[in-house]
Structure 1
Amino acid sequence: MNNNYLVTVLSDRIQAESAYTLLEKQGLPLNKITILGRGYKSADEFGLIDPNEQARKQAKLMATWLIPFGFIGGAGFSTLTNLQTFAWAGEIGDHIISGLLGAIGGAMGSVFIGGGGGIAFGSGDALPYRNRLNAGKYLIVVEGSQLLLQQATTILRKCDPEALQVYTDMYQ
């Protein structure tokens, strides 16, 4: 499985189509070249990760573990320390309220750490590329061997792209 990609950012559709045509004329395999932008594939269709969706998934996954552990931690702390923080609720009520507060703490942790961390750190380069697509730019993505990417890089540099980035899998 090849995980080598060349991502080229072009300012408009005409520039993207002429770059694609140039790649085609040089004999690069068209099944390895994808245009992303209005009228072509979208970021979702290509598989660029939406950081907000990933953050929601991460928060839900963390909530699955943190809420029950928060409840157990809160109730356990209340039981072990016997502080009677909510004495008006009785002994069992005090432990249950402490457990609920621990569960709320777990939920907050899953949202702030799982969700917020996913947005801040989980997007990699996908978010800037999504932003460029939303701004009306076009991306040409070439997938293949390092030799193919080198050929494509040489060809696409002639098109004066806004950005050109190679991503390679080091574990091939």
Structure 2
Amino acid sequence: MPVCVMVMADAPSAEGLTQRLRDTDLPLLKCLTIPPDGDAIDKVALLNPDLTRQQRQQSMARWLMPFGFLAGVTFTKITTLTTFASFGPWGETLIGGLLGMGSGLMGSYAAAASVDSDNDAGVRILRNRRDEGRWLVLLETPNGIEAPWQVIQRSRPQQVVRLDDL
């Protein structure tokens, strides 16, 4: 989905641009005005690397944990190790699966933390502009539909940051 963020000098220009974008006939997935104060920017996943990383970790855990469980059960069954033999054959297998599931969960944290987004530089620029007191207007359009560039250019933004297609 094409995403671009316009940096505006003040509230009237940002809100005016947001209203003009919403008045266009183009379908918009997201059109948000982000003020320079408060924590509104931290609630937008596209502009918050920590939130993006958390979502990526949860997504990876969804498939790593079941595979970890199966790997733990398989490892327990194919080896002759009797580390948890006091729990019986089923208990030993179950504990091996749970340990494998825990390994999958730890792996999801490690993998999510090790991946840098292509948008990190653009997000850093936008967060710096917001810290300088600028207003941000986030625009997200469906695939294959370009942003209304004439409307954007008429509003004279200070900067337009186009984030990579997600």
TM-score (norm. length: structure 2): 0.59
SS in 2 for 1:83: coil
Kindly indicate whether the alpha-carbon contact (under 8 Å) linking 1:66 and 1:110 is maintained by their aligned counterparts in 2. yes
Partner of 1:83: 81
* Structure 1 residue 29, shift from structure 2 partner: 9.2
How big is the shift at 1:18? 9.8
1-structure distance, mates of 2:164, 2:88: 60
Counterpart AA for 1:32: L
Name the Cα RMSD after superposition.
4.2
* 1:95 correspondence with 2:93: yes
**Counterpart contact for 2:36–2:135, Cα < 8 Å:** no
Judge conservation of contact 1:4–1:146 (CA < 8 Å) in 2: no
TM-aligned CA deviation for residue 148 of structure 1: 4.5
| In the alignment, structure 1 residue 32 sits paired with structure 2 residue 21 | yes
Contact 2:11 2:35 in 1 (8 A): no
Structure number with larger C-alpha Rg: 1
CA contact (8 A) 2:21 2:151 kept: no
Which deviations, in whole Å up to 9, do the C-alpha atoms of 1:19-75 show, x marking residues without a partner?
939xx8xxx896139864337994368774433223222222222222222111101
Instruction: Give the counterpart of 1:145 among 132, 144, 148.
Output: 148
Q: Does the aligned pair in 2 maintain the 1:36–1:138 contact within 8 Å?
A: no
Q: Which amino acid aligns with 2:135?
A: L
CA change 1:37–1:83 in 2 (3 A) is same
Per the alignment, residue 123 of structure 2 pairs with: 126
One of 57, 62, 65 as aligned partner of 1:64: 62
**Paired residue total:** 147
What SS is found at the alignment partner of 1:121?
coil
What are the Cα deviations for residues 70-121 of structure 1, in whole angstroms up to 9, with x where unaligned? 111101111022332334444333322221210110111122223x256x32
5+ long unaligned stretches in structure 1: 10-15
Counterpart secondary structure, 1:78: helix
Partner residue of 1:12?
none
Query: 2:68–2:104: 8 Å Cα contact kept in structure 1?
Result: yes
Deviation at 1:131, TM superposition (A): 4.5
